[in-house]
């Protein structure tokens, strides 16, 4: 740590303005620097005056804080839990059902169980979560979607963007994905990263691609995390790539665990043949930890009800 860094930390600890040195007492309130947690200021003027002395340290600390956030292991994937059985939803979108009346994702197990109960009791089909009647007219379906959209529901806004994307209207899709992303929708953030990468509806922009990939990864999207891993690998930052793959693997991402497996095998072969290898190959311990985490994440999405639904819906007895 630099001497300047130490001095500024001491100033912050003393609860004094880093520019003029005034202490935080009574009606004098200090605010933190916008980008780091090292210093505080009593006014915008003091912050502006101190900027030349603080800028380099601030950028360094801001990057450290960003990495701390980026490389935290999310508690679960961005898909969250089924609102009925409260078990984690599988990463495969085909294993859950969308209900536009309430903007909920329900696992196949709960959706099938609800349909089976309604069939046996000869009830009208309803959403298993909000109990709204399903299978009504197209006009009613459009009305419900419009209602959720006008309420700025991120799920509904993103789905409008998805429709425009499917129709080839990339500019409108970009508009709605951006709106949903601003509301914190992780899937929309990932979609934006792909659009910036491919230049669909917007000019190609590597910085914005990276920003939205990181936002989606922080939000628990393993696909975005895996993409970041590949990007870091291409840039020769192998240790960072391995970290991304491990985090994604522990969310149950099959592609990332396969990448780690290949790295682990490559390291083993290098050790056997005494060939020097470049930095970044995953260690045996890290691979074992990622493998256990991956299996735990996959197992958490399983239940007898979901397995029964899979058998019945696939036509198996």
Residue 257, judged by CB atoms within 10 A of its CB (0-12, 13-18, 19+), counts as buried
Helix 138-150 and helix 154-166: axis angle, to 10°? 120
- Taking alpha carbons only, the member of 210, 290, 307, 282 closest to residue 251 is 290
Instruction: List the chain pLDDT tens, one digit each, 317 residues.
Output: 454 555 455 444 457 888 888 888 878 889 888 888 888 999 999 999 999 999 999 999 999 999 999 999 999 999 999 999 999 999 999 999 999 999 999 999 999 999 999 999 999 999 999 999 886 788 888 899 999 999 999 999 999 999 999 999 999 999 999 999 999 999 999 999 999 999 999 999 999 999 999 999 999 999 999 999 999 999 989 899 999 999 999 999 999 999 998 887 665 555 444 444 444 477 888 889 999 999 999 999 999 999 999 999 887 65
pTM value is 0.86
Q: CA 210 to CA 188: how far, in whole Å?
A: 14
- Taken in order 240, 242, 245, 246, the sign of the CA dihedral is negative
156 in Cβ contact with 149 (< 8 Å): yes
């Amino acid at each position: 740590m630099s001497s300047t860094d130490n001095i500024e930390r001491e100033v912050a600890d003393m609860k004094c303005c880093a520019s003029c040195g005034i202490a935080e007492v009574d009606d004098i309130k200090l605010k933190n620097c916008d980008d780091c947690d090292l210093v505080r200021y009593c006014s915008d003027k003091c912050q502006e005056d101190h900027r030349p002395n603080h800028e380099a340290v601030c950028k360094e600390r801001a990057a450290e804080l960003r990495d701390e956030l980026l490389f935290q292991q999310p508690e679960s994937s961005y898909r969250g839990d089924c609102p009925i059985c409260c078990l984690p939803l599988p990463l495969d979108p085909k294993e859950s059902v969308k209900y536009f009346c309430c903007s909920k994702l329900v696992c196949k197990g709960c959706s099938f169980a609800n349909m089976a109960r309604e069939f046996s009791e000869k009830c009208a089909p309803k959403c298993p979560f909000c109990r709204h009647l399903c299978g009504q007219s197209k006009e009613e379906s459009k009305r419900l979607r419009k209602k959720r959209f006008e309420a700025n529901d991120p799920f509904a806004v993103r789905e409008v963007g998805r429709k425009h994307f499917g129709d080839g209207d990339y500019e409108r899709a970009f508009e709605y994905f951006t709106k949903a992303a601003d509301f914190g929708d992780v899937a929309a953030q990932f979609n934006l990263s792909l659009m910036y990468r491919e230049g669909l509806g917007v000019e190609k922009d590597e910085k914005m691609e990276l920003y939205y990939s990181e936002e989606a990864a922080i939000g628990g999207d393993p696909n975005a995390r895996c993409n970041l891993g590949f990007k870091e690998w291409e840039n020769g930052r192998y240790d960072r790539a391995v970290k991304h793959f491990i985090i994604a693997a522990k969310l149950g991402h099959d592609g990332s665990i396969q990448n780690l497996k290949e790295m682990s095998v490559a390291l083993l072969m290098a050790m056997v043949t005494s060939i020097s290898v470049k930095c970044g190959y995953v260690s045996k311990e890290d691979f074992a930890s990622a493998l256990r985490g991956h299996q735990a994440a996959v197992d958490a999405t399983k239940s007898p009800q979901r397995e029964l639904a899979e058998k019945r819906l696939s036509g198996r007895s």
